[in-house]
Amino acid sequence: MQTVVVGTSGTTADDVIAVAREGARIELSAEAVAALAAARGIVDALAAKPEPVYGVSTGFGALATRHISPELRAQLQRNIVRSHAAGMGPRVEREVVRALMFLRLKTVASGHTGVRPEVAQTMADILNAGITPVVHEYGSLGCSGDLAPLSHCALTLMGEGDAEGPDGIVKPADELLADHGIEPVELREKEGLALLNGTDGMLGMLVMALADLQRLYVTADITAALSLEALLGTDKVLAPELHAIRPHPGQAVAAANMSAVLKGSGLTGHFQEEEAPRVQDAYSVRCAPQVAGAGRDTLAHARLVADRELASAVDNPVVLPDGRVESNGNFHGAPVAYVLDFLAIAAADLGSIAERRTDRLLDKNRSHGLPPFLADDAGVDSGLMIAQYTQAALVSEMKRLAVPASADSIPSSAMQEDHVSMGWSAARKLRTTVANLSRILAVELYAATRAIELRRGLTPAPASQAAIEALRAAGVEGPGPDRFLAPDLEAADAFVRDGKLIAAVEPVTGPLA
């Protein structure tokens, strides 16, 4: 099993994926343990002074004006976790909870939070044991951190609330900790606050969305190429010299991917041999690299923001190397929220153009010789008519989800927190968007491969043939009379989602970017 070592200088997207999705084990570096101990010494020294220090010897948020006496401080830290663990709604996915726990540990290990080494070790132990706190959909405004989600995780650390064990069964947290020989943590000054005050949930979801979208953008280039081929379109628009004169990096990559898939095709270029020859293909075909390319450039920007955040220590207040403990606004989720919304916009447009290509394949007036709805016996058979309805419904939802969450703000904490990012909400809707995009591309793949097979007498590109054969081997049937379609579409979605389409094509094309 892979081991991820957490140090003082942040983490990587690969490490987040390894912990969240692959169950990688976590170790604290000696450097991190030393930094934790040093910062804790500073906090302990401040706690012993009579002067109030926010988060150490005061209340929180709008209640920060109250100085808390030493005998009440442990209760203060417990209370902030209990009161802030106020989430509602459906449970959040296990991978999201693991990502946010790991990212909180990343910040704790930086030595800027004042948390004791034993607290950080317990966080690692819980992750390594496969214990996943029950976290709910609603409770974060994306400012002062993902407060309710992180609080539910901190509650497990204290041996309170509910959590899911490695067997998938939800039990009281104290029982799960005892089952794995983990002692609950008794929080001290500042520790409760430090466990709650970060952008970890929205960042974890951003990192995973970036990984998923990278795969889906490559997939979209393949399905666009298959649709172009099925429509007897021209690949001349993919020539690198055309994209060099509008030098957006992602556009050139998308065009190169499509060209690689179409190399050796016997279907492209027939658009001028028809009874009504075309001068140009429709936008949804001809402009595929421009739309997918703009989305790729959006991914690159979002990845830059994610990398900066992965290198950050997000807490308030923070312990600085010179011994100061200073309040700040680094917990504000705006940088992450903006790119989460930006990705949803780009993904919605990619889904939209894919749906337009699918609709063209199914329309006998625009498909250039294909049967209506790719049906076996049109009229008796409906073919893929309702598969396109499903695809259109998914696109419509993506367009609604493209409305930015980060443009909203609802003041909280008696107007102390009077501008919030709504980044958690942006992340949650992006997860739905990513899942929808996979399904939309699966429908395009299903339609395009069927259409190519219906072009009898014409030979597809070797990469296209490899894609068709792999899809059929995965249990997704080809042309024929109507049948129960939902299982085929679900299998096609799994084929896309698991990267099997890319895996089928790349042995022919070489690596696609």
Q: Residue 211, SS3?
A: helix
Residue 297 φ/ψ, nearest 5 degrees: -65, -30
The two structure tokens encoding residue 27: 């170790």
- Tokens 């072009």 found at: 455
Are 87 and 139 contacting, i.e. CB atoms less than 8 angstroms apart?
yes
Q: CB under 8 Å to 137, separation ≥6 — which residues?
A: 87, 88, 89, 90, 91, 92, 428
133: cis peptide before it, omega within 30°?
no
The two structure tokens encoding residue 199: 């952008």
Length of the chain: 513
Listing DSSP states for 239-271 in one string gives -HHHHHTS--HHHHHHHHHHHHHHTT-SSTTGG
Residues pairing with 412 in the sheet: 417
The two structure tokens encoding residue 259: 């060209």
Listing DSSP states for 50-103 in one string gives SS--TTTSB--GGGTTSBPPGGGHHHHHHHHHHHH---EEEEPPHHHHHHHHHH
Among 362, 494, 387, which residue's Cα sits nearest to residue 438?
494
Q: At what angle do helices 288-310 and 13-22 cross, to 10 degrees?
A: 90
Active site residue 283: no
Tell me the C-alpha to C-alpha distance, in Å, between residue 127 and each of 95, 100, 311, 391: 11, 11, 21, 38
The two structure tokens encoding residue 19: 């912990």
Catalytic member of 54, 138, 338, 389: 54
Catalytic residue numbers, as ranges: 54
